[in-house]
């Protein structure tokens, strides 16, 4: 390529990138020597390089502030929220066919309630005693209400547009 | 799966350790996500800071960037360098914020607000006040802020993140020659505006 004014990098914006690389110290030794030979005989490029180097020296004084100490803690909290929402979304997706058919939905609610009872009282047998059956009848309306609330919440979640997971792919 | 991805990536991509880490995140390894965060936290925040010029907002946007990375882990494919993908997300996040801000604040001038959003509290006002008080820095900041968004992103990636033309092109989804033209015009504008400071 260089030297010689006909091969001047300043003849095109594409070639001028070579001078930017030179100013940034990103050229290999051989290429940098070629540029320097050209600079020795080209006032236009010499002026460009001087101006660019001066600009970068000025720009060096703009430092970014340090990262806040609580950045990771804040992010960690939001990641946990994300995990919970993704979990609920997955459950919603898995249960969607069942919710489309009321008898199955009712069966699912009963199953969840039964599992909840067993978890709360691990000693309870599958065939409950009279006492535990009475206790179950006492809390049943409240649990059904809670399950229906949960179902409503899941329906709302499943009908809300879910774009986050796919968005970076669409960038 | 892992092996197939590596084969698709070719020899050069197989050497990208960050893509390897992200593939581990995809498999459920949270420690790899922590490593990626540790490695790229500062560069993403600093890039966003120079784009939006407010510390609190840049950190808020960086949170969104890392959340998007995490949420996308299950669909992640190592088809590009990890940092290219990361900065593509960061750049789009910044562009979106700048676009929204322009429409929200078309009546307000940069001079009035000093380039800082008022409604978001800054976590470190002392640092920011000191920087704003520095006339030299303030002038550079304004000159960069006055560039069109794409030129600004190209300059910040080239000058401050020391990225190659090819990577900037991949981040901005344009050709390498388009990036060289963007940079040439941007630096020309900055040289004219800041020459008195040299
Ligand atoms: Zn020349």
Kindly state whether residue B109 falls inside one of the protein's structural domains.
no
Shortest CA gap A171–chain B (Å): 7
Q: Which residue of A has its CA nearest to B56?
A: A68
Which pLDDT value is given to residue B136? 86
Among A76-90, A119-133, B172-186, the range scoring the smallest mean pLDDT is A119-133
Q: Which residue of B has its CA nearest to A168?
A: B89
B9 shares its domain with B93 = yes
How far, in Å, from the CA of A40 to the mean position of ligand 1?
9
- Which of the four pLDDT bands, split at 50, 70 and 90, describes residue A147? very low
Shortest CA gap A70–chain B (Å): 10
Residue B121 or B59, more confident: B59
B97 shares its domain with B140 = no
At which of B101, B131, B149 does a domain end? B101
Average pLDDT, stretch B162-189?
97
Mean pLDDT of chain B: 85
CA B66/CA A75 separation, integer angstroms? 8
Q: Is the pLDDT of residue A148 over 90?
A: no
Kindly state whether residue B107 falls inside one of the protein's structural domains.
no
B4 shares its domain with B48 = yes
Question: Where in the sequence is the domain holding B93, given as residue range(s)?
Answer: 1-101
Nearest C-alpha neighbor of A164 from the set A91, A106, A85, A103: A85
B41 shares its domain with B90 = yes
Phi, psi of B119 (to 5 degrees): -80, -15
Residue A83 or B3, more confident: A83
B151 shares its domain with B94 = no
Which helix (H) or strand (E) covers residue A103, if one does?
A: helix A102-120
Which pLDDT value is given to residue A133? 38
Q: Which residue of B has its CA nearest to A55?
A: B191
Which pLDDT value is given to residue A83? 77
B164 shares its domain with B129 = yes
Tens digit of each residue's pLDDT (9 = 90 or more) over B88-111: 999 999 999 999 988 887 655 544
Q: Is the pLDDT of residue B49 over 90?
A: yes
CA A33/CA A28 separation, integer angstroms? 9
Share of chain B above pLDDT 90, in %: 70
Which pLDDT value is given to residue B163? 96
Which pLDDT value is given to residue A105? 56
CATH number (domain holding residue B16)? 1.10.1740.10
B12 shares its domain with B85 = yes
Q: Record the tokens describing residue A118, joined without a space.
A: 């067993």
Residue spans per domain, chain A:
5-61
Chain B residues within 8 A of A20 when measuring between CB atoms: 158, 183-184, 187
Q: Record the tokens describing residue A44, joined without a space.
A: 């236009």
Is the CB of A79 less than 8 angstroms away from the CB of B67? Answer: yes
B183 shares its domain with B90 = no
Chain-centroid distance of CA B117 in Å reads 18
Q: Is the pLDDT of residue A151 over 50?
A: no
| Number of other residues whose CB lies within 10 A of the CB of residue B167 | 20
How far, in Å, from the CA of A12 to the mean position of ligand 1?
10
Nearest C-alpha neighbor of B62 from the set B43, B81, B75: B43
Which pLDDT value is given to residue A87? 67
Is the CB of B71 less than 8 angstroms away from the CB of A86? Answer: yes
Q: Record the tokens describing residue A87, joined without a space.
A: 């979990």
**Contact status of A70 with chain B (Cβ, < 8 Å):** yes
Burial-class residue A25 by CB neighbours within 10 Å (0-12, 13-18, 19+). exposed
B6 shares its domain with B76 = yes
Tens digit of each residue's pLDDT (9 = 90 or more) over B107-153: 555 444 444 444 455 556 666 656 555 788 999 999 999 999 999 99
Statement: the pTM of the whole predicted model exceeds 0.80: no
Tens digit of each residue's pLDDT (9 = 90 or more) over A16-56: 999 999 999 999 999 999 999 999 999 999 999 999 999 99
- Which of the four pLDDT bands, split at 50, 70 and 90, describes residue A88? confident
Average pLDDT, stretch A91-107?
64
B9 shares its domain with B78 = yes
CATH number (domain holding residue B137)? 1.10.10.10
Tens digit of each residue's pLDDT (9 = 90 or more) over B61-87: 999 999 999 999 999 998 889 999 999
Q: Is the pLDDT of residue A157 over 90?
A: no
At which of B74, B101, B128 does a domain end? B101
CA A160/CA A89 separation, integer angstroms? 10
Residue B23 or B105, more confident: B23
- Which of the four pLDDT bands, split at 50, 70 and 90, describes residue A128? very low
How far, in Å, from the CA of A19 to the mean position of ligand 1?
9
For residues B59 and B42, the answer to whether their CB atoms sit within 8 Å is no
Is the CB of B75 less than 8 angstroms away from the CB of A166? Answer: yes
At which of B50, B68, B101 does a domain end? B101
| CA dihedral of residues A93, A97, A99, A104 (deg, nearest 10) | -130
**Contact status of A58 with chain B (Cβ, < 8 Å):** yes
Q: How many structural domains is chain B composed of?
A: 2
Residue partners of A24: CB distance under 8 A and separation at least 6: A56, B162
Which pLDDT value is given to residue B107? 55
B138 shares its domain with B94 = no
Tens digit of each residue's pLDDT (9 = 90 or more) over A55-67: 999 999 999 999 9
B92 shares its domain with B178 = no
Distances (CA, A) of B133 to A124, A150, B62, B125, B139: 70, 54, 25, 12, 11
Chain B residues within 8 A of A18 when measuring between CB atoms: none
């Amino acid at each position: 390529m260089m030297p010689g004014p006909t091969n001047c990098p300043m003849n095109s914006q594409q070639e001028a990138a070579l001078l930017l690389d030179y100013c940034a110290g990103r050229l290999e030794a051989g290429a940098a020597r070629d540029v320097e030979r050209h600079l020795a005989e080209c006032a236009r490029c010499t002026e460009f390089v001087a101006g660019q180097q001066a600009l970068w020296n000025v720009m060096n004084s703009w430092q970014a502030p340090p990262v806040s100490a609580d950045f990771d803690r804040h992010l960690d909290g939001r990641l946990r929220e994300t995990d919970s929402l993704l979990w609920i979304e997955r459950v919603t997706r898995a249960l969607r066919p069942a919710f489309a058919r009321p008898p199955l939905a009712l069966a699912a609610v009963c199953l969840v309630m039964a599992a909840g009872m067993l978890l709360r009282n691990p000693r309870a047998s599958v065939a409950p005693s009279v006492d535990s059956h009475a206790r179950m009848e006492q809390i049943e309306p409240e649990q059904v209400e809670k399950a229906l609330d949960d179902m409503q919440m899941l329906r709302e979640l499943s009908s809300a547009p879910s774009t986050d997971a796919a968005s970076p792919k669409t960038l | 799966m892992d092996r197939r991805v590596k084969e698709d990536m070719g020899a050069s991509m197989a050497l990208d350790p960050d893509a390897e880490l992200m593939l581990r995140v995809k498999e459920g390894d949270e420690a790899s996500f922590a490593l990626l965060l540790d490695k790229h936290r500062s560069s993403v925040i600093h890039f966003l800071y120079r784009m939006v010029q407010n510390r609190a907002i840049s950190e808020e946007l960086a949170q969104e960037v890392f959340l998007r990375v995490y949420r996308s882990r299950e669909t992640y494919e190592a088809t590009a360098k990890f940092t290219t993908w990361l900065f593509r997300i960061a750049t789009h996040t910044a562009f979106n914020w700048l676009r929204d801000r322009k429409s929200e604040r078309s009546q307000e001038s940069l001079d009035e607000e000093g380039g800082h959003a008022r409604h978001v509290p800054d976590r470190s006002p002392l640092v920011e006040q000191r920087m704003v008080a520095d006339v030299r820095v303030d002038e550079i900041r304004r000159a960069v802020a006055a560039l069109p968004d794409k030129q600004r992103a190209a300059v910040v990636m080239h000058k401050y993140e020391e990225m190659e033309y090819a990577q900037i092109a991949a981040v901005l989804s344009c050709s390498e020659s388009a990036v060289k033209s963007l940079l040439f015009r941007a630096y020309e504008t900055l040289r004219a505006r800041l020459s008195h400071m040299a």
